[in-house]
Amino acid sequence: METNKPSSHAQIEHLAPVGHEVIQGYLKTLDSSPGVYRMLDRESRVLYVGKARNLRARVSNYARPSGHSGRIARMISMTASMMFLTTRTETEALLLEQNLIKQLKPKFNVLLRDDKSFPNILVTGDHAYAQIKKHRGAKKQKGAYYGPFASAGAVNRTLNQLQKVFLLRNCTDSMFESRTRPCLLYQIKRCSGPCVGLISEADYAQSVKDAERFLSGKSTDIQAKLADQMQQASEEMEFERAAALRDRIRAMTQVQSAQGINPRGVTEADIVALHMDSGQACVQVFFIRANQNWGNRDFYPRVGADVDAAEVLEAFLGQFYDTKEPPRQLILSNEIENPDLMAEALTQKLGRKVELLVPQRGEKAELVDSALRNARESLARKMSESATQAKLLRGLADAFELPEPPERIEVYDNSHIQGTNAVGAMIVAGPDGFMKNSYRKFNIKGDDLTPGDDFGMMKEVLHRRFKRLLSEDPDRAKGMWPDLLLIDGGAGQVSAVAQIMAEHGVEDIPMVGVAKGVDRDAGKEEFHRVGQRPFALRHNDPVLYFVQRMRDEAHRFAIGTHRAKRAKSNMKNPLDDIPGVGAARKRALLAHFGSAKAVSRANLADLKAVDGVSEGLAQKVYDFFHDQ
């Protein structure tokens, strides 16, 4: 007689129950300490990270069988286990919670997806003639830092105008020391020529001081001083000097007008405004420093349909300032869940008081209204683009006979010149457009490859890609695996890639080769798939334009990567390959002989005459070039 045996899946369900009853079982082990909790599914994937002033009280809420929002109910229904970390204070719990969210990226948390650092302007303090330049990253170099600026473009525009106004150098110290005549920047009145003594150290120091005063918000008196100097030059009939001063005043005015909002009553603050619509959110941040607007940036945190604004904004602040220095004031569009706790956490981080304000009237409220308007417009554009992108992805699925629209498309291309400096490139596209933080470059390493072997290069790139995927995400649980591969090439490239994928046991990912038609014209592309005849799309099909954009983006990225590699190769100095020749010895040799080529031609006696080069090292240098 046939009997129904429980499946392995049913056994797993029996062994690992889920839901509020599982959560109920943890209550007897918890006390009222503050801390952080994690909710995990059957496969031990983190679903949610939360903080609590009282762990037992918070977990008891999840143990109730009803009364939850849709999102929380789904989360509870998937919870198979929990983990807990107690902390001394709720502030510590808040900081730990945000750190774990960024690290683990749980499914049900609000998540800040774009978390790049912001550039600053650095006025160096370790040289008699200070350099002004863009700086990103840790503030290790001696000098004065001004920022943050919202983008590299905002920094570059400001630096460009500051050079016109204050004529400060932006060249490196090594270039400064090696100059014997003024560079082009001096010729176009962007630098005062300190490298060749065209300005005294005292006068240059005054220009540096004026630039720092301007970056600190004290621009009015500087403009007045320049205006007085222009008037004096005009009265003395030094019209060329007067015209130069006029141009410097005009440049300063352009900096201020380009900044748009320049609040009088807000010295140092970030304006943070949140707009939500249809389960999506945009956070707009304006950076106000020294009463000047140093740019704005929009962010699109991952949110759910039933998450309220207070939770979204609090999560954003915690994650955004986890790796950034907060200003003295955060001016917010709406309240957050724990304003006192967040202010205390940020105050501890900064080492001085940080205020959180939600203004109702006055200049601060006007600033928030401006940021909110930007957030609304940005989210509307984003949603429109997302709708268009979703339609294109559905069209792509129909054209290539995919089971569903792809969430992650990986596009591959190679670049080289006659086989030299070969690189492979991978770009990624999805529902939100190009995912640039997922782009990857591959330096082609195959020693057995024939120069220019495109098939061999593509095979190496895909071999390395899938070897890494199998190592880092064998269960395909982290969203790293593609739903579709697009290969730049025809049947040969597709066959080579299929072979590599079969070797790795990956044969369920659709793959399409994109090849130019017989006339190699854009619009006549042919699409190749394993075991099927090539086909083409209508000339005016939006899906065809979509594929062309992705292929062109991969080609652009590959070409850029190749050029960077080639430039680095061209700049390589043969002295770098000589054992025992470090930076100091290299500088001594180049200073004495003028170039690496001259060093290579020098005789042994001349090498021995260089300061700091011993007889033994001179022999090594001589042997290195003459053995070769």
List of domains in the chain = 16-104 (3.40.1440.10), 120-258 (no CATH), 268-381 (3.30.420.340), 409-569 (3.30.420.340), 574-627 (1.10.150.20)
Asked whether residue 570 carries a pLDDT value surpassing 60, the answer given is no
Residue where the block lists tokens 């977990």: 59
Q: Specify which of 234-243, 295-304, 589-598 reaches the highest per-range mean pLDDT.
A: 295-304
Q: What pLDDT shows up at residue 11?
A: 43
Mean pLDDT of all residues in 77-83: 94
Question: Which of 549, 551, 441, 534 has its CA nearest to residue 487?
Answer: 551
- What is the rounded CA–CA span in Å between residue 390 and residue 406? 10
pLDDT tens-place string over residues 30-42: 999 999 999 999 8
Antiparallel, parallel or unpaired: β 511-515 and 526-528: antiparallel
Q: What pLDDT shows up at residue 449?
A: 59
Mean pLDDT of all residues in 460-484: 88
Which of 4-13, 316-325, 374-383 shows the lowest per-residue confidence on average (mean pLDDT)? 4-13
pLDDT tens-place string over residues 513-551: 998 765 555 567 889 998 889 999 988 889 999 999 999
Q: What pLDDT shows up at residue 309?
A: 92
- What is the rounded CA–CA span in Å between residue 253 and residue 468? 53
pLDDT-based confidence at 589, cuts 50/70/90? Answer: confident
pLDDT tens-place string over residues 183-207: 899 988 889 999 999 999 998 998 8
Q: Which residue has the higher pLDDT, 85 or 600?
A: 85
Percent of the chain at pLDDT exceeding 70: 89
Burial, 70: exposed, middle or buried (Cβ in 10 Å; 0-12, 13-18, 19+)?
Answer: exposed
| Mean of all residue pLDDT scores within the chain | 85
Q: What pLDDT shows up at residue 59?
A: 94
Q: What pLDDT shows up at residue 256?
A: 52
Which of 12-21, 110-119, 171-180, 485-494 shows the lowest per-residue confidence on average (mean pLDDT)? 12-21
The answer to whether 544 and 526 have CB atoms below 8 angstroms apart is no
Q: Can you read off the two tokens belonging to residue 76?
A: 């509870």
pLDDT-based confidence at 26, cuts 50/70/90? Answer: very high
Q: What pLDDT shows up at residue 12?
A: 42
Question: Which of 329, 317, 220 has its CA nearest to residue 267?
Answer: 329
Helix (H, G, I), strand (E, B) or coil at 622: helix
Q: Assign residue 532 a region (left: φ > 0; alpha: ψ between -120 and 50; beta: otherwise).
A: beta
Q: Can you read off the two tokens belonging to residue 273?
A: 């405004």
Question: Rounded to a whole number, what is the largest CA-CA distance in the chain?
Answer: 116
H-state helical runs in 271-361 = 309-320, 339-350
Q: Can you read off the two tokens belonging to residue 302?
A: 């991952």
Query: What is the reported pTM?
Result: 0.72
Which of 9-13, 145-149, 437-441, 479-483 shows the lowest per-residue confidence on average (mean pLDDT)? 9-13
CA distances from 17 to 11, 108, 143, 225, 273 (A): 10, 20, 59, 76, 42
Cα 331 from chain centre = 25
CB count in 10 Å sphere of residue 598: 13
pLDDT-based confidence at 13, cuts 50/70/90? Answer: very low
Which of 62-66, 220-224, 577-581 shows the lowest per-residue confidence on average (mean pLDDT)? 220-224
What b/e readout covers 237-251, taking b as 16+ CB neighbours within 10 angstroms? eeeeebebbeebbeb
Q: Can you read off the two tokens belonging to residue 140?
A: 């290790």
The answer to whether 36 and 97 have CB atoms below 8 angstroms apart is yes
The answer to whether 409 and 400 have CB atoms below 8 angstroms apart is no
Q: Give the contacts of 592 (CB within 8 A, at least 6 positions apart).
A: 609, 610, 611
CB count in 10 Å sphere of residue 394: 15
Asked whether residue 10 carries a pLDDT value surpassing 50, the answer given is no
Q: What pLDDT shows up at residue 138?
A: 84
pLDDT tens-place string over residues 311-352: 999 999 999 998 888 999 999 999 999 999 999 999 988 888
260: phi then psi, degrees, rounded to nearest 5: 70, -95
CB count in 10 Å sphere of residue 591: 12
Mean pLDDT of all residues in 90-115: 89
